[in-house]
Chain A
Amino acid sequence: MSEAPTNAACPMNRTQVVDAYFMEHRARILDLAAFLDRVDRAGPGADDFRMQAFRAALSILGDGKPERARRVLELLSDPGTEPVAKAGMKGATGAHDPKAGKA
C-alpha cells in the first residue's frame, strides 16, 4: 500500500475516512462496473480515444501509487504546448484525442 502524501492534513484517521466515504464510493465503483458492462452489451466495436483513456485511467486507480487524481487528470489532458490554429468547437470531450487538429 502506498504512503499518503506527506503534506496531507485531513483531520480524519484512515478508519474514519473509510467509515465516512466507503458506501458512497462502493456505489461509484459499481457505476463504473455497470458502465463497462453497458459498453460491452452495446455490441461489437473498437474503443474510441475516450474509452482507451478511460481504461488507462482505471489502471492508475489500482497501481498503488499516490496522487491518483492528478495523474488521471494528466492522462486525460492534451499534452501539447502550442496553441491550435483555430477552435474547431466550443465544447470538450473529456479526453485528449491524439488525432485532433495540430497547431
Chain B
Amino acid sequence: MYIDPHVHMVSRNTDDYVRMARAGCVAITEPAFWAGYDRSSPQGFFDYFRQLTEFEPRRAAQYGIRHHTWLCINPKEAEDPVFAREVIGLIPGFLEKRNVLGIGEIGLNKNSRNELEILEAHLQLASDHGLLVLVHTPHLEDKLKGTRLILDAIRRFPKLDAGRVLIDHVEEHTAKLVLDRGFWCGMTLYPDTKCTPQRAVDIIECYGSERIWMNSAGDWGHSDPIAVPKAQMEMRRRGHLESLVRKVTFENPERFLSQSGRFSAEPLRPTAPDITR
C-alpha cells in the first residue's frame, strides 16, 4: 500500500490508474502543472482547475484511488506577472472544492525575478488562507540556487509554518538544506533528471526518515507513475524494515497531507464510470 503525493494524472491514461491501483496505490495528490505549452488565457486555467477538482477525482475513484489536488500557476508560466496574477485571482473560487489541499506546485523554474514575484504572491495567498504549500524546486543546474532563493522567500512569510510546507524534488545537495530549516521534503523518482529509486533510498539512509516522502511526479514527459512501488522494492532489497518502507511511502505523506483536514487514504471501493457524461 502506498500514497503517491505528486503525480500529474491529467497527463496519464486510465491504464496508468490500473497499474497504480494494482501496485497498491490508495491515494494521490496532483499539483497544478505546466501543460507543455503556455496557456493562452486565464480561462484555460479555469478549465484546468475544473478538471483537477471535478473530473480527475471521479476518474481516479473508478480504480479505488482517492484523488486530491493543489492549485497554482506553475513557475514555468510565471514570467508574465500580469497574466499570472489573473490566474492567481481564480484560485480562491476553487478553495472550497473538497479535494483541494493547498497551493502548489509553486516555486521557481529559471530563478528569475518575475518567477520570484509570483512565488511570493502564491505564498501570500497561502498565508492569508492558512493553506498547506507544495513547492517545486528548479531542474538540474538551477536547483541549488533556486532552493536557497525559495527558502529565503518563505522566511519572509512568518505566518507560514515550516511544518506545513513541503519542498519537492530534493536531491543529495538540497535535502539537508531543506530539512535543517524544518521543512518537509519530497524526492521525485525520475528515470533521468531527478532521483532514481536507489538514490532516493541512499538519501533516506544518509538524512533519515523524518519529514520526507517519495513521489513519481509522473507527467507527460519521461516519467514512471509506478516509481514509488519500485522504490519500496529497492528498500526491501536492501533489507530495510517493512515499518520503514511504510513510514516513508504511506505514513509520512499521510501525516503531512492530513494537516489540510481534507486528505484521506481510507480504502475506497472502485466506483462505476458515470455513463451519463
Residues of chain A having any CB pair with chain B under 8 Å: 5, 7-12, 20-21, 67, 69-70, 73-74, 76-81, 83-96
8 further contact pairs, Cβ within 8 A, besides A77-B145, A90-B34: A11-B239, A20-B237, A69-B199, A73-B143, A83-B115, A84-B111, A89-B110, A91-B139
The interface residues of chain A lying within 8 Å CB-to-CB of B110 are 84, 87-90
A5, A76, A90, A93: the one contacting B76 at CB < 8 Å is A90
Q: Could you write out 14 A-B pairs with CB less than 8 Å apart?
A: A8-B205, A10-B205, A11-B238, A11-B239, A11-B240, A12-B238, A74-B173, A77-B141, A78-B141, A83-B116, A85-B113, A87-B110, A90-B109, A92-B140
B144, B198, B206, B238: the one contacting A73 at CB < 8 Å is B144
The interface residues of chain B lying within 8 Å CB-to-CB of A90 are 34, 76, 109-110
Query: What is the chain A residue whose CB lies nearest that of B173?
Result: A73
Residues of chain B having any CB pair with chain A under 8 Å: 34, 76, 79, 109-116, 138-145, 148-149, 171-173, 198-199, 202, 205-208, 237-240
Query: Are B144 and A77 neighbours in the complex by a CB distance under 8 Å?
Result: yes
Shortest beta-carbon distance, A32 to chain B, in Å?
A: 15
Query: Are B173 and A96 neighbours in the complex by a CB distance under 8 Å?
Result: no
Q: Is the contact region of chain B dominated by helix, strand, or loop, or is it mixed? A: helix
A39 and B228 CA atoms in complex are apart in Å by 35
Shortest beta-carbon distance, B256 to chain A, in Å?
A: 22
- The listed residue with most A CB atoms (<10 A of its CB), out of B139, B143, B172, B199, is B172
The interface residues of chain B lying within 8 Å CB-to-CB of A84 are 110-113
The interface residues of chain A lying within 8 Å CB-to-CB of B143 are 73, 77
Shortest beta-carbon distance, A46 to chain B, in Å?
A: 20
The interface residues of chain A lying within 8 Å CB-to-CB of B149 are 81, 83
The interface residues of chain B lying within 8 Å CB-to-CB of A92 are 138-142
The interface residues of chain A lying within 8 Å CB-to-CB of B113 are 83-86
A77 and B46 CA atoms in complex are apart in Å by 36
Query: Are A78 and B173 neighbours in the complex by a CB distance under 8 Å?
Result: no
Shortest beta-carbon distance, A68 to chain B, in Å?
A: 9
Query: Are B172 and A73 neighbours in the complex by a CB distance under 8 Å?
Result: yes
